[in-house]
């Protein structure tokens, strides 16, 4: 028997390593092997323990704690797993995975990411072997063209086109770069791929390096992903030792070195020219395009940049053919896309689905809908460059074109679900706070424009909004969009534009009625005590920092609205749910 524990960053944060440490001594001399795997993708059930026999998954145990270790060890020793049924995954939760089509994530949560042999057992490096021994550079590019693979980092530019441009660029010295600077808050699929299947990334990159004629490759990883860096370092060392990386790969004259560069924390470095500046050791400020990186990239040499998920699809396409990939999806968007489903969702985690499903499919069928059965309000797609999509558009199909038409973007695949308690004006303010901090400062419109927008949104959420603020925001959006050099600035207005477009009434309620319909904006809240629910325990009056609550013992209390500073202490301490917020 083989016992496997999901140890991606999320699993470890949920306590997977503690479960491992508790199980390890108990399984000694039982004949059962204890191992790890990467991210299984069902973050809402972590820590997860899988029990395999001869490669077959016998049981998947969820929300395991170290206290369960003894029961697991006993069951394994006695060969009777039935006592573990109380921990087993339910059929309903199982459907979260069953409804997915996994290509980029196909080995995630299945193989041991730290073992090269585990990767070889699932046809690892076979695509590279096929490419190096039977395909020309043009053959590879043609296959990728047939597949219709487009950049998964956000813009959705055809991958083959970039490869072809880099291949045809003049010069012998070319570079391949992997963008693993997953900066979009709310997206973590690239981290999951590197942590769970690092050789898949290496193989995809080697195929691309061969196609464009690069002998040197970089992975630019966020410094916030220490585990990903450690696992990738090990994978690079193992692959080099076995002849999959380095000189004369697989006995051919193809040579390629792969190095990791740790980023130092700057969202704008997800933009390819800024990333190149950062690789060169400078401030990550975008360059003017053209020239595109395919002509003048790293060290002014032809370079090609793709993101992790894009590379993760490459070996599958080579092995199964571009047509099989293109058979999935819609007219304009082929294959699958990974989404990081988070927020107020019942079942959050990584979801890989064929393009063409609807947002409703993902959020309600796979994700199980909204927590605590609250009402769905919006889904945020594409991070700070994306937008908020309302309930009326839930049947929008997932493809690059259809999502862009809503004002949001596909982006890197962050999907943050919001319920009725999320204020959309505050959401826009949140993103502008982010872009204000992350703007590199090069373009005036982006540097100052986002700051002015942030100030306007802040005053609206604080009840100081003025008539004309919405129009002023729209004007600023226009100016920033046309005045910024790079994608960060050009798309920074999207969160504001989409919330104004779909939730204008919320803006108007804040400005005209000084009211936050979601009840989130503290300055616009009013706290009252429900006389019928209040038992007169006096706790709230004691805790109130400004003495705004009065009332006799065992008599209903009341809040003086003029004194109240809306700190919420009374609501936090009330044991009878008597404090109401509007």
Partner 1 sequence: MCDCAKSDLTLLDGILAEYASVRGSLITILQKAQDVYGYLPTDVLYRVAQATGNTPAKVMGVATFYTQFRLTPVGKHLIMLCKGTACHVNGADAVEKAICEELKIKDGETSEDGLFSLKTVACLGCCSLSPVMMIDEDTYGSLTPTKAVEIIRNIRKEAAV
Judged by the rule CB under 8 A, the positions of this chain that interact with partner 1 are 9-10, 12-14, 43-44, 46, 182-188, 191, 222-226, 261-267, 278-284, 299, 340, 342-344, 348-349, 380, 383, 414, 416-418, 422, 427, 430-431, 434, 437-438, 440
Nearer to partner 1 among residue 237 and residue 319 (C-beta) = 237
Q: Which residues contact 115 (CB under 8 A, 6 or more apart)?
A: none
| Cβ proximity to partner 1, 32 vs 228, nearer residue | 228
**CA-to-CA dists, residue 325 to 98, 314, 394, 411, angstroms:** 19, 10, 26, 20
189, 108 contact by CB (below 8 A)? no
Task: Give the Cα-Cα-Cα angle 242, 307, 238 (nearest 5 degrees).
Answer: 15
Beta carbon nearer to partner 1, 44 or 119: 44
480 in Cβ contact with 395 (< 8 Å): no
The nearer residue to partner 1, 102 or 334, going by C-beta atoms, is: 102
Minimal distance in Å, beta carbon 228 to partner 1? 9
Residues whose CB is less than 8 angstroms from the CB of residue 320 and which lie 6 or more positions away in sequence, other chains included = none
When the beta carbons of 367 and 551 are compared against partner 1, the nearer one is 367
Closer by beta carbon to partner 1, 261 or else 515? 261
Pairing of strands 527-529, 376-381: unpaired
Alpha-carbon gap, residue 246 to 248, rounded angstroms = 7
- Which CB atom, from 141 or from 362, has the smaller least distance to partner 1? 362
Taking residue 483's Cβ as centre, other Cβ atoms within 10 Å add up to 14
Name the 3-class secondary structure at 190: helix
Shortest CB 530 distance to partner 1, Å:
22
Q: State how far the Cα of 266 lies from the Cα of 275, in Å rounded to an integer.
A: 9
Closest CB 505 distance from partner 1, rounded Å: 20
Q: How far apart are CA 213 and CA 104, in angstroms?
A: 24
Q: How far apart are CA 431 and CA 494, in angstroms?
A: 10
Q: Which is nearer to partner 1, 77 or 94 (CB)?
A: 94
Closest CB 574 distance from partner 1, rounded Å? 15
Residue 204 and residue 315 in contact, taking contact as beta carbons nearer than 8 Å:
yes
Residue labelled with tokens 């441009």: 165
Place of tokens 């590279």: 128
CB atoms < 10 A from the CB of 441, how many?
11
- Residue 366: closest CA among 345, 387, 382: 345
Tokens coding 433:
């706070």
Taking the least distance from each CB to partner 1, the nearer of 335 and 343 is 343
């Amino acid at each position: 028997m083989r016992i496997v524990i999901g140890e991606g960053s999320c699993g470890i944060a949920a306590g997977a390593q503690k479960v491992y440490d508790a199980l390890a001594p108990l399984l000694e001399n039982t004949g059962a092997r204890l191992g790890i795997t990467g991210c299984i993708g069902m973050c809402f059930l972590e820590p997860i323990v899988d029990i395999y026999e001869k490669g077959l998954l016998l049981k998947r145990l969820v929300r395991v704690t170290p206290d369960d270790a003894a029961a697991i060890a006993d069951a394994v020793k006695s060969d009777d797993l039935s006592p573990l049924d109380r921990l087993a995954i339910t059929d309903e939760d199982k459907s979260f995975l069953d409804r997915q089509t996994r290509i980029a994530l196909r080995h995630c949560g299945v193989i041991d990411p730290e073992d090269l042999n585990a990767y070889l057992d699932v046809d690892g490096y076979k695509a590279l072997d096929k490419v190096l021994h039977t395909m020309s550079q043009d053959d590879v590019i043609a296959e990728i063209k047939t597949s219709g693979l487009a950049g998964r980092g956000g813009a959705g530019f055809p991958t083959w086109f970039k490869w072809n441009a880099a291949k045809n660029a003049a010069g012998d010295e070319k570079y391949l770069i992997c963008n693993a600077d997953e900066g979009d808050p709310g997206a973590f699929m690239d981290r999951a791929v590197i942590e769970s299947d690092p050789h898949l990334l290496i193989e995809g990159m080697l195929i691309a390096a061969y196609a464009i004629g690069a002998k040197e490759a970089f992975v630019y990883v966020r410094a916030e992903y220490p585990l990903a860096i450690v696992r990738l370092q090990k994978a690079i060392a193992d692959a080099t030792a076995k002849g999959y990386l380095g000189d004369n790969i697989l006995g051919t004259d193809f040579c390629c070195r792969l190095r990791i560069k740790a980023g130092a924390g700057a969202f704008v470095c997800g933009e390819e020219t800024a990333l190149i500046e950062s690789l060169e050791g400078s401030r990550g400020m975008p360059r003017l395009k053209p020239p595109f990186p395919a002509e003048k990239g790293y060290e002014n040499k032809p370079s090609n940049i793709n993101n992790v998920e894009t590379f993760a699809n490459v070996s599958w396409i080579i092995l199964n053919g571009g047509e099989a990939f293109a058979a999935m999806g819609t007219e304009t968007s082929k294959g699958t896309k990974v989404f990081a489903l988070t927020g107020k969702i019942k079942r959050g985690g990584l979801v890989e689905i064929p393009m063409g499903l609807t947002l409703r499919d993902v959020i309600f069928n796979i994700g199980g809908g909204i927590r605590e059965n609250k009402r769905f309000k919006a889904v945020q797609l594409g991070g700070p460059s994306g937008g908020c999509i309302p309930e009326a558009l839930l049947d929008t199909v997932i493809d690059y074109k259809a999502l862009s038409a809503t004002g949001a973007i596909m982006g890197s695949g962050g999907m943050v679900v919001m319920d009725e308690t999320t204020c959309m004006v505050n959401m826009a303010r949140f993103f502008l706070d982010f872009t204000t901090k992350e703007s590199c400062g090069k373009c005036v419109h982006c540097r100052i424009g986002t700051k002015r927008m942030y100030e306007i949104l802040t005053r609206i959420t604080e009840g100081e909004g003025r008539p004309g603020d919405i129009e002023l925001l729209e004007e600023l959006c226009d100016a920033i969009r046309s005045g910024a050099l790079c994608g960060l600035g050009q798309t920074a207005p999207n969160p504001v534009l989409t919330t104004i477009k779909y939730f204008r009434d919320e803006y108007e309620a804040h400005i005209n009625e000084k009211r936050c319909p979601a009840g989130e904006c503290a300055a616009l809240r009013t706290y009252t005590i429900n006389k019928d629910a209040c038992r007169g325990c006096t706790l709230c009056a004691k805790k109130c920092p400004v003495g705004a609550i009065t009332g006799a013992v065992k008599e209903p209390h009341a809040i003086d609205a003029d004194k109240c500073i809306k700190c919420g202490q009374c609501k936090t301490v009330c044991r009878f749910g008597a404090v109401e917020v509007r």
